[in-house]
Amino acid sequence: MIRMPSSLGSSRHRRRLLAALATVSVAALLLTGCVSWFRAPAPTASTSKPTGEKVAADLRPFYSQVLTWSSCSSGFQCTTAKAPMNWKDPSQATIELALIRKPATGTRLGSLLVNPGGPGASGYDFIRDNLDYAVDSTLRAGYDIVGFDPRGVGRSTAVDCGGAAVLDHFNYDIVPGTPGTDSWIAGTEQVNARFGQDCLDHTGPLLQYVDTNSAARDLDLLRAVLGDRRLNYLGYSYGTLLGASYAELYPKKTGRLVLDGALDPATTDFMVTDTQAKGFESAFRAYLANCIGSSACPFTGTVDEAMTQTGQLLDQLQAGPLSNPDGRRLGANTMFVAIILPLYSKDNWTYLDKLFEEVRKGVTTTAFLLADSYNDRDSNGVYSSNSTEAFVAINCLDYASDSSIGTMRAQAAQLGKDAPVFGPRMAWGGTSCAKWPFPATRVRGPISAEGSSDILVVGTTNDPATPYVWAKSLAKELQHGHLVTYHGEGHTAYNKSNSCVNSAVDDYLLNGTVPSKDPEC
């Protein structure tokens, strides 16, 4: 399963890439010169009054807490909420959940909680750094826009696997040999097992409780302490699974939920990978069709010939990695990550031109800039988030996968048929969590959320990361799901200059009006 870049591969990543690929020197400055927006907040009198609803006795201390908001940056307010680490035993220990909000500029309807995806992306950073990208001015007028870091993520009580050196080994080391051989599988499982043990050693008991259902229970707690009787929510990418999970657990407490770039909760780990492989291969073919024939294109011939050349290049990098000046080596996996990131948005396709042009000359600069951006790593080796650690920890609890060699080889063969170039590079997912410290706890299946309010599901027809078929499936599974289709490229659709999608989402969130039929934007 491909990890969604933090903030959806959104404006933060686009700004990074636009600058990074203009000149290397400017890129190095931007990637290392992180600006800290957080200052010691000055206490204010702003508080949120909890709803005061009846809950079990052991949950009352959490649901009755009063949030005190402090000024943090450019009109934002910040606070921290307490939640049970283990919802089945609230007395066991507590964790912290970090929140940030931008108060409504007009007549306030309530709070709108926003999740940017991942899993592992920081909703706090997303709202602070990308408010205009997250929601349009219409929604900012009607709602307090609230970003939060889910359990295990960012400024909340977070998963920690040991720091930059551990992450560099996990993200960039190359397991020798041919993928699929017994020795390669054993070596890959050993790398993943070591990473899991590092995560347990540094995170402790929390590592067992960062699953999506626990995060959905946190979401209900946040709703209540913000003072909202019903949840109003905008979830992107993985955030759609979190929102759907909430609706399944608390259907009567759903207000207005928008799920953009939907995941299908009924899909297995392998089917997620297979569908994503086909989605990314389709997006890459669309890039090639747009590229071939232009003066800057590094490919000639047909799209099929260019696909073959790409597969051959990845095979060459697996057998003979290129050296980077900082000592890291560019192997097939890191190159694949570098290819993946620009495919999240058509605006970034031209960066693939430079990537392939350089690598063919033995130059690794752009490849590592792209891979590092994907991994939230700057050129000094500093990771700006724990997105990789949280992604692995959450998914290993959410997805049960078969790690038997026979099954993985059969799945690899299927991936090779369905997506001949990208599929083999996304195979062997069963090695990821085979020796994770804790077993998966989520039971995969359709979510109907019987008795919920209307829920809006947005899908993009050529979304490589969360393919359109998932949005169609989720909208059908939900008892009160309504599909909004965007015919276009890229990951997610709302607030991307499409007035049809924006109108449908805004009308729903502000007025509760759902389209009478799919508007087919």
Q: Which residues contact 363 (CB under 8 A, 6 or more apart)?
A: none
The whole-number mean pLDDT for each consecutive block of 10 residues of the chain, a chain of 521 residues, reads 42 35 26 28 63 94 96 92 97 96 95 95 95 94 97 97 96 92 93 96 98 98 97 97 98 98 91 90 95 93 96 95 96 96 90 96 96 93 94 94 89 95 92 93 93 97 90 97 94 90 97 96 96
Residue among 48, 122, 237, 282 flagged as catalytic? 237
**What's 57's DSSP letter?**
G
- CA 413 vs CA 175, 273, 420, 451: distances in Å: 20, 13, 9, 42
Asked whether 214 and 222 are in contact (CB, 8 A), the reply is no
Same domain, 316 and 234: no
pLDDT value of position 47: 81
Same domain, 86 and 111: yes
Residue among 129, 274, 372, 463 flagged as catalytic? 463
Same domain, 302 and 260: no
Same domain, 277 and 172: yes
Catalytic status, residue 237: yes
- 435 burial level (CB within 10 Å; 0-12, 13-18, 19+): middle
How far does Cα 200 stand from its chain's mean position? 22
| Single-letter amino acid, residue 466 | T
Same domain, 107 and 190: no
Q: Where are the alpha helices (DSSP H) in 227-301?
A: 238-249, 269-291
| Backbone φ, ψ for residue 94 (5° rounding) | -120, 155
Same domain, 89 and 180: no
The verdict on residue 217 lying in a domain is: no
- CATH no. for residue 90? 3.40.50.1820
Closest to 212 in 3D by CA, of 257, 261, 249: 249
Same domain, 284 and 252: no
The verdict on residue 116 lying in a domain is: yes
Domain total of the chain: 2
Same domain, 285 and 379: yes
pLDDT value of position 380: 92
Cα distance between residue 338 and residue 299, in whole Å: 17
- CA 25 vs CA 35, 78, 108, 361: distances in Å: 18, 35, 45, 20
State pTM to two decimals. 0.89
The verdict on residue 105 lying in a domain is: yes
Range of the domain at 317: 160-206+269-398+401-431
The verdict on residue 441 lying in a domain is: no
Cα distance between residue 485 and residue 229, in whole Å: 30
pLDDT value of position 424: 92
pLDDT value of position 187: 93
Residue whose tokens read 């949120």: 48
The verdict on residue 342 lying in a domain is: yes
Half-sphere exposure of residue 86: CA atoms within 13 angstroms, side-chain side: 10
| Residue 132 in tokens | 């205009």
| Residue 313 in tokens | 């290049």
Cα distance between residue 497 and residue 237, in whole Å: 18
| Single-letter amino acid, residue 440 | A
pLDDT value of position 388: 94
